[in-house]
């Protein structure tokens, strides 16, 4: 008996090792290259300005218990995204291992089957927010806590002494309240808890009434988890955020119940298939756009390694229950109804408050429902009689998941690099931004919220809060969209925003535009006194360019070196470095410095990839009557007619010597 237990423990250790290895391959490759994403900017700015206690204020409006994760995290990790990513990975792994533990208690002996389900859950490709580890640390900590809570519940059910039962139930309840306090729509996980209890109770060799009584007995203590939480959430706590205010979200149901039911059912059906089927190929297709064959090669290598490890280790996992038997249909029926229920109830709270699965912006809503998806996929695999075909389909799912996480990490690392390069170029161009300025940015990383811009700008130039009592950035921002364009053109006055206790006062009459029209372009600061626009410029930028006040730049201040966290190390000083420094020198009126920078850049073989960036140098060469250089640069400009026309307009308006002016007219003013 002792030998059998030793063998089982060894097998479980091997399975855990497998899950550690494959999840490490899937999630860890790019984390040294991840920076801040989305909400990370305002979270880290606020914590840096006011200390970790600020998280109580930030999360008090909707999920106050998130502070229990973020305060210790910031206390230990500070602002470094690397440690948040490592922690997020560990929580994701812990959630997967706990899921395997649960499955083994519910379906003992089905070692390979449960291992396969745990692997699919751990590598599920529909959840793409893993790299956004600062903001999603609470999500993943909640997932791990929820899985542990369910596992402890099942341990309590199977314990033989009241002391062990009481201890396990108590720990389960506390973890249950903790995970629901992180993310309220995780409550769909409670279906999975009670379904597992139901299976254990109704397998007892007793009458139906005794089994029902046992189910009630086993479940009664953990009814406190959703019961107490819902009582607090619905009757005591008042959410200040519309997306998490249950009463506000149910207004449509009360007003038009039939329409609400139709819309809800339609959304539920769409999301059901997204989680179950589309997650295995839609994210991969979207993320792969623009990736070259060479960029894919490491991803294929990782997918092969994951597949090889699963194939090697799966033989160790087989248990007696994995062998075909007459009881096969029993566990299959169990998987079907538990899987369907877990998927539906995982989506139910999300759709109830008007949200749906979106693999670009809202992939987090797949996380709880993915439990049901992997159970149902195991049912599909069980219907395939051919062992080779069954293994092949499972292998396809594994490869799809591995490639999706590789592509997701690659894209996020590239996004971090683009963001860091953008703000490093800003730091080369601008020594300081005056407090009260309102920034508008346009570059490859779309600023979907204003703090995507004011977050990095303030971390670079004004890391301290502008107010003693609460968080108030010194520099504000607005999102580049049609609404902003209309407000700028209408000269609308200052706005006020209080987002999670962070107060901002954007002013549409006081904007400063930073734009990077193409990935190959440098950051271009628009100045209403001399508007220069790339031929690839966004039309929204073109519309408001005459209102961009470069006077918001404090020219005589010392330059700020971006901190390595979160801006990384300084990029190589290539063309964009010389362009930014020349643009700064031009704004100062230091034409000798512009000339020096131009000569140095050309001597080092650097040239503009966006032709409008030659403008500072063209003006310097024109002032110095350096017509040889003007002739050389004109050959570049002729390939870009809009840039050539702007050069003609700007240069001919300058007070130049007649010979130089004639040469410029000949070179740049083409009829």
* Residue pLDDT, tens place only, 25-49: 999 999 999 999 999 999 999 999 9
pLDDT of residue 5: 56
Give the Cα separation of 409 and 241 in Å (integer).
31
Q: Angle of helix 257-276 relative to helix 328-352, nearest 10 degrees? A: 130
- Average pLDDT, rounded, for the chain: 92
Could you say which DSSP state residue 570 is in? Answer: P
Instruction: Give strand pairing partners of 362.
Output: 358
pLDDT for residue 323 is more than 70:
no
Report residue 560 as tokens: 């700020």
Residue 240 banded pLDDT, cuts 50, 70, 90: low
Backbone angles phi, psi at 304, to 5 degrees: -65, -45
Q: pLDDT higher for 265 or 123?
A: 123
Q: How far is CA 663 from CA 232, 634, 652, 656, 658, in A?
A: 78, 11, 10, 11, 9
Could you say which DSSP state residue 563 is in? Answer: P
Could you say which DSSP state residue 445 is in? Answer: S
Q: pLDDT higher for 12 or 403?
A: 403
Q: What mean pLDDT do residues 94-114 have?
A: 94
Give the Cα separation of 95 and 189 in Å (integer).
12
Whether the ω angle into residue 566 lies within 30 degrees of 0, i.e. cis, is yes
Give the Cα separation of 565 and 191 in Å (integer).
42
pLDDT of residue 467: 85
Nearest alpha-carbon partner for 374 in 279, 491, 241: 279
- Per-residue pLDDT tens over the stretch 343-396: 999 999 999 888 899 998 889 999 999 999 999 999 999 999 898 999 999 999
pLDDT of residue 424: 98
Q: What residues contact 370, with CB distance under 8 A and at least 6 apart?
A: 121, 124, 126, 127, 275, 279, 346
H-type helices in 514-574, by residue range? 539-544, 564-567
pLDDT of residue 234: 87
pLDDT for residue 329 is more than 70:
yes
What does the domain layout of the chain look like in residue ranges? Answer: 2-412, 432-555, 573-671
Give the Cα separation of 233 and 459 in Å (integer).
35
pLDDT of residue 10: 73
Give the Cα separation of 365 and 495 in Å (integer).
32
User: 239-247, long-range: CB within 8 Å, 24+ apart, which pairs?
Assistant: 239/61, 239/62, 240/61, 240/62, 241/61, 241/62, 243/62, 243/353, 243/354, 243/355, 244/62, 244/63, 244/184, 244/353, 246/353
- Per-residue pLDDT tens over the stretch 184-229: 999 999 999 999 999 999 988 888 999 999 999 999 999 999 999 9
Q: pLDDT higher for 414 or 262?
A: 414
pLDDT for residue 296 is more than 60:
yes
Residue 423 banded pLDDT, cuts 50, 70, 90: very high
**What does 23-88 look like in DSSP terms, one character per residue?**
HHHHHSTTGGG----TTHHHHHHHHHHH-TTHHHHHHTTT-GGGHHHHHHHHHHHTT-HHHHHHHH
pLDDT for residue 495 is more than 50:
yes
Give the Cα separation of 632 and 50 in Å (integer).
54
Give the Cα separation of 172 and 177 in Å (integer).
9
Q: What mean pLDDT do residues 510-532 have?
A: 96
Q: Are the C-beta atoms of 450 and 480 separated by less than 8 Å?
A: no
Q: pLDDT higher for 4 or 449?
A: 449
Neighbours of 155 (CB within 10 A): 19
pLDDT for residue 318 is more than 70:
no
Query: If DSSP states are collapsed to H, E and C, what string results for 617-628?
Result: HHHHHHHCCCHH
- Per-residue pLDDT tens over the stretch 255-295: 667 777 878 889 899 999 999 999 999 999 999 988 999 99
3-class SS at 558? Answer: coil
Report residue 282 as tokens: 């839609």
**Going by DSSP bridges, is the β-strand pair 438-442/476-477 parallel, antiparallel, or unpaired?**
parallel
Nearest alpha-carbon partner for 81 in 139, 132, 26, 24: 132
3-class SS at 310? Answer: helix
């Amino acid at each position: 008996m002792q030998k059998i237990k030793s063998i089982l423990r060894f097998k479980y250790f091997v399975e855990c090792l497998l899950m550690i290895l494959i999840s490490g391959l899937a999630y860890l490759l790019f984390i040294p290259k991840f920076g801040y994403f989305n909400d990370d900017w305002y979270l880290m700015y606020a914590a840096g300005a006011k200390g970790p206690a600020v998280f109580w204020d930030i999360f008090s409006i909707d999920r106050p218990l998130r502070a229990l994760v973020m305060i210790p995290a910031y206390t230990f990790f500070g602002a470094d995204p690397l440690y948040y990513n490592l922690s997020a990975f560990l929580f994701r792994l812990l959630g997967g291992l706990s899921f395997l533990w649960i499955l083994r208690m519910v379906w003992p002996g089905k070692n390979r089957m449960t291992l396969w389900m745990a692997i699919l859950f751990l590598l599920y490709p529909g959840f793409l927010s893993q790299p956004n580890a600062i903001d999603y640390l609470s999500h993943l900590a909640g997932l791990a806590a929820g899985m542990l809570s369910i596992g402890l519940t099942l341990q309590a059910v199977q314990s033989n002494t009241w002391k062990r039962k009481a201890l396990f139930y108590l720990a389960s309840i506390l973890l249950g309240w903790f995970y629901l306090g992180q993310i309220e729509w995780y409550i769909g996980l409670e279906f999975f808890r009670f379904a597992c209890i139901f299976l254990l109770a109704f397998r007892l060799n007793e009458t139906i009434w005794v089994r029902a009584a046992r189910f009630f007995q086993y479940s009664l203590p953990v009814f406190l988890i959703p019961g107490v939480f819902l009582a607090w959430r619905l009757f005591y706590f008042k959410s200040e955020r519309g997306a998490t205010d249950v009463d506000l979200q149910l207004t449509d149901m009360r007003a038009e119940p039939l329409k609400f039911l139709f819309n809800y059912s339609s959304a539920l059906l769409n999301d059901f298939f997204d989680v179950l089927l589309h997650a295995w190929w839609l994210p991969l297709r979207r993320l792969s756009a623009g990736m070259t064959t060479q960029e894919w090669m490491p991803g294929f290598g990782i997918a092969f390694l994951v597949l090889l490890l699963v194939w090697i280790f799966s033989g160790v996992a087989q248990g007696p229950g994995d062998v075909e038997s007459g009881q096969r249909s029993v566990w299959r029926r169990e998987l079907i109804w538990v899987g369907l229920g877990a998927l539906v109830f995982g989506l139910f709270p999300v759709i109830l408050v008007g949200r749906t699965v979106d693999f670009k912006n809202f992939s987090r809503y797949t996380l709880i429902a993915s439990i049901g998806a992997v159970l149902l996929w195991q049912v599909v695999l069980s219907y395939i009689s051919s062992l080779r075909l069954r293994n092949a389909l499972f292998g396809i799912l594994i490869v799809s998941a591995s490639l999706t996480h590789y592509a997701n990490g690659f894209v996020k690392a590239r996004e971090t690099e683009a963001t860091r390069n953008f703000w490093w170029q800003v730091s080369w161009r601008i020594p300081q931004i005056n407090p009260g300025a309102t920034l508008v940015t346009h570059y490859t990383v779309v600023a979907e919220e204003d703090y995507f811009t004011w977050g990095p700008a303030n971390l670079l130039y004004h890391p301290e809060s502008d107010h003693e009592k609460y968080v108030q950035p010194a520099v504000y921002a607005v999102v580049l969209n049609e609404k902003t364009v209309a407000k700028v053109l209408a000269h609308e006055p200052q706005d006020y925003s209080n987002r999670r206790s962070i107060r901002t006062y954007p002013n549409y009459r006081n904007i400063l535009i930073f734009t990077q029209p193409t990935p190959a372009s440098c950051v271009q600061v628009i100045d209403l006194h001399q508007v220069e626009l790339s031929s690839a410029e966004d039309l929204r930028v073109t519309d408001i360019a005459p209102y961009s006040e470069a006077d918001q730049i404090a020219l005589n201040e010392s330059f700020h070196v971006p901190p390595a966290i979160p801006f990384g190390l300084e990029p190589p000083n290539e063309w964009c470095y010389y362009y930014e420094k020349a643009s700064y020198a031009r704004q100062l009126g230091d034409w000798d410095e512009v000339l020096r920078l131009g000569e140095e850049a050309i001597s080092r073989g650097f040239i503009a990839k966006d032709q409008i960036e030659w403008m500072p140098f063209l003006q310097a060469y024109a002032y110095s009557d350096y017509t040889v250089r003007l002739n050389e640069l004109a050959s570049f400009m002729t390939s870009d007619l809009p840039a050539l026309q702007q050069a003609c307009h700007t240069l001919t308006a300058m007070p130049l010597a007649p010979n130089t002016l004639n040469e410029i007219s000949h070179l740049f003013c083409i009829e």
